[in-house]
Each structure stands twice: as C-alpha cells, then as structure tokens.
C-alpha cells in the first residue's frame, strides 16, 4: 500500500474548516465585544456535530449528505457573518487594542496544535498499515 494513499485528504479539509471556524469565531467575538457570542456559536456547532455521533439513525448517513449540507451551510454562515459585521461596524477612529503579550505564546500554541494534528495523521497511517492495532 502506498503512503500517498494513506494520507487522507479529509484530515486537511478538516484543518481548513477548523481554521475558518476559528477566524469566524474570532471576528464574532471581536465585533460583539464579548466572547459569549462565540461560545454560543461554538456550542451550537459542536451540538450539531454530536447529533451525528449520538443518534444511531444519523450514523448511517451517506457522505454525499455531508457534502451537500456543507455546500448549503457555508454560504448561509458566510451571509450571517457578513450581516453581523455590517450591523456592527467599527467606527473610523476605532482601532483594536495593542497586543501586550509576547508573540511566543501564539506561536507555541500553533506549533502544539500542528504537532497534535501530525500525530493524529501518523497514528492513522500506523493503524492502516497494521490493522491488528485497531482492535487493541
């Protein structure tokens, strides 16, 4: 089995979705002036995803449904974010507060997340190369 076939494109697609969700939640928190709106949006996103894990009838949902749901949900989410930004514009002289913390922590956090993502990919490749490990 070729290594190129083992590296699943879904992993990279999920990383892109997570990055876009993080940017959107950051914009939402910044523009609303409160993290509560981002917390509620994040919780609703996770609750919708959890339904597909918890409910047995949804576990057999074909992959095409997820693709179509994404095609429909992405423009709706983009429209809602655009409407929110339009409704809550920044005033002309308003600037974000100057960052006072070191750049070290965001870089370390990014590297930790990237490392965990790489670890998941390596573990998946290992399990696919050694199917007996999956039952342990």
Digitized pLDDT (tens) for each residue of the chain, 136 residues in all = 444 444 555 566 677 778 888 888 888 888 777 788 888 888 888 887 777 777 777 777 777 777 777 778 778 888 887 888 788 777 666 666 666 777 787 788 888 888 888 888 888 788 778 877 766 5
Backbone torsions φ then ψ of 57, nearest 5 degrees: -65, -25
Residues 6+ apart with CB under 8 A from 68: none
* 28 burial type by CB count under 10 A (0-12 exposed, 13-18 middle, 19+ buried): buried
Whether the Cβ atoms of residue 131 and residue 25 lie closer than 8 Å to each other: no
CA distances from 47 to 40, 55, 104, 132 (A): 10, 12, 33, 33
State the Cα angle at 30 between 82 and 75, rounded to 5°: 25
């Amino acid at each position: 089995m070729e290594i190129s076939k083992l590296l699943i494109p879904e992993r990279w697609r999920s990383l892109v979705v997570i990055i876009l969700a993080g940017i959107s939640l950051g914009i939402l928190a910044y523009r609303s002036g409160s993290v509560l709106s981002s917390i509620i949006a994040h919780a609703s996103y996770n609750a919708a995803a959890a339904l597909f894990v918890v409910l047995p009838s949804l576990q057999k949902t074909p992959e095409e449904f997820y693709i179509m749901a994404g095609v429909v949900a992405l423009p709706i989410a983009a429209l809602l974010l655009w409407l929110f930004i339009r409704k809550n514009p920044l005033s002309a002289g308003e600037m974000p507060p100057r960052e006072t913390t070191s750049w070290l922590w965001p870089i370390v956090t990014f590297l930790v997340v990237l490392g965990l993502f790489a670890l998941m990919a390596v573990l998946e490749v290992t399990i696919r190369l050694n199917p007996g490990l999956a039952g342990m």
